[in-house]
Amino acid sequence: MKKAIIMGASSGIGWALAHVLSKKGYFVGLAARREELLLKLQQELPLKSFVRRVDVTQTKFAQETIFELIREMDGVDLIIFCSGTGHVNPDLNWRLEKETIDVNVTGFCAMANLAMHYFNEKGYGHFVSISSIASIRGNDAAPAYNASKAFMTHYLQGLRKRCVKSGKEITVTDILPGFVDTEMAKGDKKFWVASPMTAALRIYDAIVKKKDAAYVTKRWRLIAWALKWMPDFMYNRLR
């Protein structure tokens, strides 16, 4: 039986992924801060699932809790980090910037560290994390958010290189969504908005194919290309 843990499973992409994986034959560990939503989700899934309340910003407790969940599930093959937060914050409110960093950088790093140690000891496994198309360039309205996603992408690349050198069958996948219809999709200039279920199916495809990276949806690769090659003087004029 295939087994996976989803961190950030209470809503959005994580919630949709739980449904997709359960229907595809996975026992799923559901982790997030809002336990009541996880218990509701658990009742909706066709296969066995496990619930843990986890706040990834409480790194020591979060790592201990996920290790307990892994033991209860008698091991897992796949760990997915879907937790995340972000704010449109043109005034640079420090509370909002710190909250973003605490979840998207510190919390992510702690969970990635846990996954790598576990899979390295096991000899194989798959770690997936949701970064963003926002990782490509900085943003004046959400500087911490874009920077935190860039951190995630580069950290994942470092882990991937480490896994290749180790020779072990450990896959690291970076998922880069554009706009997905979740609480995270802020602002009033959204386009090409995907549903959480559409995003989850695209992510599942990337998991099956063991991709290094995948855009959600595929058309966002065009935006990524434009952002990467756009000169600063042009990018700085965008609103």
Domain residue spans of the chain = 2-235
The answer to whether 216 touches 176, Cβ cutoff 8 Å, is: yes
The answer to whether 76 touches 124, Cβ cutoff 8 Å, is: no
Q: For residues 221 and 133, give the distance between their C-alpha atoms in angstroms, rounded to a whole number.
A: 9
Q: For residues 163 and 161, give the distance between their C-alpha atoms in angstroms, rounded to a whole number.
A: 5
Q: CA separation (Å) from 140 to 69, 96, 192?
A: 39, 14, 22
Q: For residues 28 and 229, give the distance between their C-alpha atoms in angstroms, rounded to a whole number.
A: 40
Per-residue pLDDT of the chain (239 residues; tens, 9 = 90+): 899 999 999 999 999 999 999 999 999 999 999 999 999 999 999 999 999 999 999 999 999 999 999 999 999 999 999 999 999 999 999 999 999 999 999 999 999 999 999 999 999 999 999 999 999 999 999 999 999 999 999 999 999 999 999 999 999 999 999 888 876 555 556 666 789 999 999 999 999 999 999 999 888 889 889 888 988 888 888 87
Q: For residues 226 and 23, give the distance between their C-alpha atoms in angstroms, rounded to a whole number.
A: 36
Architecture of domain 2-235: 3-Layer(aba) Sandwich (3.40)
User: At which residue do the structure tokens 């982790």 appear?
Assistant: 31
Which residues are CB-neighbours of 159 under 8 A, at least 6 positions away?
112, 116, 127, 172
